[in-house]
């Protein structure tokens, strides 16, 4: 079978979300922005955003402190290895320590999330993906930079979700008042080492979709992200200073009965340089059950099916169950070290 073609000439839609992020945004501007988001969600499942209001100095600071960490010896990075965090699943993993579609990714990374205190009910019960973050002793700036990024992304995610709600014919705060009233928020910093000679079989991250509602991604100047288009080719997503890439997850595909697309994407680091990316995942509340909305508009028939053959719209459990089942496949060895008590009590 010949490799899927690339589509370097195609570009993602670019949407200014300032009117949605600003609580005093003009109603007419919000409406037109929501229409643009709705169109992108229907046709691509990916779009780039400007006007988000994030401090332009924050990403360079985060990039610098992250590079200092990844440049440190493996023995230092091991001090915050994921296995030390138990069921919280926070911390560092080495190159090829994470699987996508059953194959090792050529990247290393650090898993973060919201800081959960020791007396949080889910921490006390050992629920997966809940607990404190692990930060390295050096560089000391990584802690403050990560926490600042988490704080900066929340209002952007809320603003984009207001646009999604309006695009679906719902009240602007429909998500904030329900599915994301207590959102599941995860954050990763990924480092892709310089690649060898590129081939169709070599990837930093293999083809996949994200699990939740929304991902906000910052990438460094090397690029490498590719989005699958409807024709089966791959669109190269070029980076630009201050630009955030937004994509939809499986739960929005479930919520809309397939009207919105959880679009497959992958990463191929062919730059010959180290690459960093910073994906922020904004997902439903842990105990939420995501419905399929009775939308007025006709649902597009996705005859080609999903890339993995799964039927996301058939899921009936909580989002926490869905996420846990997915992450267990990404880190099977780590999952195997945790008892059912650690995960399900």
Q: What is the pLDDT of residues 270-285, one digit of tens each?
A: 888 899 999 999 999 9
More confident residue, 228 or 197: 228
**DSSP percent split of the chain into helix, strand, coil, nearest 5:** 30, 20, 50
| Residues contacting 24, CB < 8 A, separation 6+ | none
CB contact set of 18 (below 8 Å; sequence gap of 6+):
25, 29, 50, 51, 52, 53
User: In the structure encoding, which two tokens stand for residue 201, read together?
Assistant: 């079989």
pTM tops 0.75: yes
Q: What was the pLDDT predicted at 308?
A: 66
pLDDT tens column, 9-38: 478 999 999 999 987 878 889 999 999 999
Instruction: Write down the pLDDT at residue 104.
Output: 82
The pLDDT, as a whole number, for residue 199 is: 53
Higher per-residue pLDDT: 180 or 103: 180
Long-range CB contact pairs, 137-141, < 8 A, 24+? 137/79, 138/68, 138/69, 138/72, 138/76, 139/65, 139/68, 139/69, 141/61, 141/64, 141/65
CA-wise closest residue to 279 among 157, 130, 98, 97: 157
Most confident listed range (140-149, 216-225, 289-298, 304-313): 140-149
Is a pLDDT exceeding 60 seen at residue 322? yes
66 vs 307, residue with greater confidence: 66
At 114 the pLDDT is 94
| pLDDT at position 243 | 96
Question: If we measure between CA atoms, which residue out of 327, 96, 110, 90 comes closest to residue 206?
Answer: 96
pLDDT given at position 300? 52
Confidence of residue 269 (pLDDT cuts 50, 70, 90): confident
The answer to whether 275 and 109 are in contact (CB under 8 A) is: no
pLDDT digits (tens, 9 = 90+) for 135-159: 999 999 999 999 999 999 999 999 9
Rounded mean pLDDT, 286-302:
76
Q: What is the pLDDT of residue 281?
A: 98
281 close to 187: Cβ distance less than 8 angstroms: yes
Whether 214 and 163 have beta carbons less than 8 Å apart is answered as no
What value does the mean pLDDT take over residues 313-331?
86
CB 297 within 8 A of CB 90: no
> Which string of DSSP letters, residue by residue, matches 82-97?
GGGGGGG--EEE-TT-
Residue 137 in tokens: 């002793």
pLDDT of residue 337: 61
The residue written with tokens 């898993």 in the block is 111
* pLDDT at position 191: 96
Averaged pLDDT for residues 256-262: 91
**What is the C-alpha separation between 71 and 251, in angstroms, rounded?**
36
What DSSP designation does 36 have?
Answer: H
Report all structural domains of the chain as residue ranges with CATH numbers, in order of start: 14-344 (2.60.120.330)
How high is the pLDDT of residue 341? 40
pLDDT grade for 306, boundaries at 50, 70 and 90: low
Averaged pLDDT score across all residues of the chain: 87
Residues in the chain: 345
Residue 108 has pLDDT above 70, yes or no: yes
Least confident of 92-96, 197-201, 281-285, 314-318: 197-201
DSSP 213: S
Closest CA to 187 of 221, 225, 214, 159: 214
Percent of the chain, pLDDT > 90?
66
pLDDT in tens, 229-255: 877 789 999 999 999 999 999 999 999
Stretch 45-60: mean pLDDT, rounded?
97
CA 289 to chain CA centroid, Å, is 20
Q: Which of 75 and 338 is assigned the larger pLDDT?
A: 75
- Whether the CB-CB separation of 189 and 110 falls below 8 Å is answered with yes
Q: Would you place residue 329 in the very low, low, confident or very high pLDDT band (cuts 50, 70, 90)?
A: confident
CA torsion sign for 49, 157, 209, 133 is positive
Highest mean pLDDT, choosing among 99-103, 186-190, 298-302: 186-190
**Farthest CA pair distance, the chain:** 56
Sign of the dihedral defined by the CA atoms of residues 303, 234, 189, 54, in that order: negative
Radius of gyration of the chain measured on its C-alpha atoms: 19
């Amino acid at each position: 079978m010949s490799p899927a073609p690339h589509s370097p000439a195609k570009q993602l839609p670019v949407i200014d979300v300032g009117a949605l992020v600003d609580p005093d945004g003009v109603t007419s501007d919000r409406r037109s922005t929501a229409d643009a988001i709705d169109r992108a969600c229907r046709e691509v499942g990916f779009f780039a955003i400007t006007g988000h209001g994030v401090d332009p100095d924050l990403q360079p600071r985060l990039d610098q402190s992250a590079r200092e960490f990844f440049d440190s010896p493996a023995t230092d990075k091991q001090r915050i290895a994921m296995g030390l965090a138990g069921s919280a699943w926070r911390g560092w993993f080495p190159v090829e320590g994470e699987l996508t579609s059953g194959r090792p990714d050529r990247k290393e990374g650090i898993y973060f999330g919201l800081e959960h205190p020791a007396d949080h009910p889910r921490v006390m019960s050992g629920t997966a993906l809940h607990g404190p973050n692990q930060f390295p002793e050096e560089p000391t700036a990584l802690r403050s930079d990560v926490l600042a990024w988490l704080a900066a992304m929340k209002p952007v995610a809320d603003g984009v979700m207001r646009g999604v709600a309006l695009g679906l014919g719902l009240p602007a705060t429909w998500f904030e008042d329900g599915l994301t009233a207590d959102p599941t928020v995860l954050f990763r910093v990924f480092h892709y080492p310089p690649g060898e000679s590129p081939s169709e079989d070599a990837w930093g991250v293999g083809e996949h979709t994200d699990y939740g509602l929304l991902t906000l991604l910052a990438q460094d100047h090397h690029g490498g992200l590719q989005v699958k288009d409807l024709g089966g080719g791959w669109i190269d997503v070029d980076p630009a200073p201050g630009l955030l890439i937004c994509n939809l997850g499986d739960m929005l595909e479930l919520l809309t009965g397939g009207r919105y697309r959880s679009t497959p994407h992958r990463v191929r680091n062919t730059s010959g340089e180290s690459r960093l990316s910073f994906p922020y995942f904004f997902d439903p509340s842990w105990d939420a059950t995501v419905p399929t909305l009775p939308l007025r508009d006709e649902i597009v028939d996705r005859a080609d099916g999903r890339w993995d053959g799964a039927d996301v719209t058939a899921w009936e459990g909580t989002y926490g169950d869905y996420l846990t089942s997915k992450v267990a496949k990404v880190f099977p060895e780590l999952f195997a070290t945790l008892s059912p008590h650690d995960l399900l009590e």
